[in-house]
């Protein structure tokens, strides 16, 4: 492994380091518009029987926290990949369905198909980084992120989508948006503080992940957003196979893969299931497996994230995974995040 960090200091790294600024930009532009408030009123008056949350890739995974929040408030909410929605679950397209569609480009093949399939039957709230996209133009309401242009792998667009979805959820649940904004303000400096040590974090992780062939990211609840997106960006960035799954699912089979070539990142998450995740970490170590926990109390600085509440935790959790993508690229001597076969916007179904 080369210690020369120059090979990883490309466009993808610049996008990662720009995340604090785009979070600040997005927060400054979020507003509870009258059309969005009207949708919230209809939801709380029982005009919608269900809320369908849809997207593809990291846009889909980012919906996990909102899905849990809506369910906790008594709404019937379900997550469906857009491709499955338009081809196999199109009976959901009726006036009693509220669709929340997330797409950074708003122009992916699946989102174009959604617009064509819906034909204004459902109310659609779009969360997108592209105001002039097909999705934004055809949605009843568009919540815009301010991530700017992105080179390849989702980083800026993912964290700003998480922020926008937290805001959207609190509008729909008719919460005090002043408190929401105050909580989300912590995301920008906390992200900047973590990324300030990116070089040390990458070097530490490059040593930690020596000789691994199998990488697992596991968590519960809202952290399913992190493990799903995390596994995706490792594959995209490094051509290295990784799997993201629930901590419970890891015990149902993959636990058998523990050994010198397997590494597991366990995301502690919130207090509801933190003890279960910590027990999994303990059990992995008992089997002499290789694992670290991502938490405010993590032993390694590269896995330690500050606690500013659940909304900020969801944003901060992805940062150690981004450092993993850089560390694996450093080990392999390749530029991370440069697509060779895929494209930034998937235009073919």
CATH of the domain at 171: 3.40.50.10490
- One digit per residue, pLDDT tens: the chain, 349 residues? 446 899 999 999 999 999 999 999 999 999 999 999 999 999 999 999 999 999 999 999 999 999 999 999 999 999 999 999 999 999 999 999 999 999 999 999 999 999 999 999 999 999 999 999 999 999 999 999 999 999 999 999 999 999 999 999 999 999 999 999 999 999 999 999 999 999 999 999 999 999 999 999 999 999 999 999 999 999 999 999 999 999 999 999 999 999 999 999 999 999 999 999 999 999 999 999 999 999 999 999 999 999 999 999 999 999 999 999 999 999 999 999 988 888 777 888 9
Instruction: Identify whether residues 167 and 193 lie together within a single domain.
Output: no
pTM over 0.95: yes
Instruction: Identify whether residues 229 and 114 lie together within a single domain.
Output: no
Q: Which of 334, 339, 324 is nearest to 234 (CA)?
A: 324
Handedness of CA 99, 103, 106, 111 (dihedral sign): negative
SS3 content of the chain, % helix, strand, coil (to 5): 50, 15, 35
Residue 25 falls inside a structural domain: no
Residue 257 falls inside a structural domain: yes
Instruction: Identify whether residues 69 and 176 lie together within a single domain.
Output: yes
Instruction: Identify whether residues 54 and 143 lie together within a single domain.
Output: yes
Identify whether the C-beta of residue 161 lies closer than 8 Å to the C-beta of residue 59.
yes
Domain end (from 142, 162, 185): 185
Provide DSSP, 21-55. HHHHHHHHH----HHHHHHHHHHHTT--SEEEEEE
Tokens (6 digits) for 329? 């690229």
Residue 16 falls inside a structural domain: no
Residues 228, 233, 239: CA angle, nearest 5 degrees: 125
Count of domains for the chain: 2
């Amino acid at each position: 492994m080369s210690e020369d960090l120059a090979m990883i200091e490309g466009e993808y790294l610049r996008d990662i380091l720009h995340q604090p600024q785009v979070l600040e930009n997005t927060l400054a532009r979020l507003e509870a518009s009258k059309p969005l408030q009207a949708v919230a009123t209809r939801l709380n008056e029982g005009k919608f029987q269900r809320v369908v949350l849809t997207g593809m890739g990291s846009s889909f995974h980012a919906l996990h926290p909102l899905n849990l929040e809506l369910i906790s408030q008594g709404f019937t909410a379900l997550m469906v990949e857009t491709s499955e929605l338009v081809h196999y679950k199109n009976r959901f397209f009726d006036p009693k369905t509220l669709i929340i569609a997330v797409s950074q480009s708003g122009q992916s093949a699946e989102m174009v198909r959604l617009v064509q399939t819906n034909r204004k039957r459902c109310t659609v709230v779009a969360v997108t980084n592209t105001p002039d996209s097909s999705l934004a133009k055809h949605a009843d309401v568009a919540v815009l992120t301010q991530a700017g242009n992105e080179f390849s792998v989702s980083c800026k667009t993912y964290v700003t989508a998480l922020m926008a979805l937290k805001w959207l959820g609190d509008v729909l649940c008719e919460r005090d948006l002043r408190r929401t904004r105050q909580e989300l303000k912590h995301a920008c400096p906390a992200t900047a503080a973590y990324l300030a040590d990116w070089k040390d974090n990458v070097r530490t992780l490059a040593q930690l992940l020596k000789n691994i062939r199998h990488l697992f990211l596991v968590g519960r609840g809202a952290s399913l957003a992190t493990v799903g997106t995390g596994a995706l960006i490792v594959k995209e960035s490094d051509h290295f196979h990784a799997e993201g799954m629930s901590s419970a699912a890891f015990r149902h089979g993959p636990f058998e893969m523990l050994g010198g070539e397997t590494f597991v990142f366990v995301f502690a998450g919130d207090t509801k299931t933190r003890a279960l995740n910590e027990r999994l970490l303990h059990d992995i170590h008992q089997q002499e497996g290789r694992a670290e926990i991502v938490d405010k109390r993590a032993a390694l600085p590269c896995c330690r994230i500050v606690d500013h509440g659940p909304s900020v935790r969801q944003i901060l959790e992805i940062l150690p995974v981004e450092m993993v993508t850089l560390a694996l690229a450093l080990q392999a001597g390749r530029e991370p995040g440069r697509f060779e076969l895929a494209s930034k916007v998937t235009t073919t179904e």
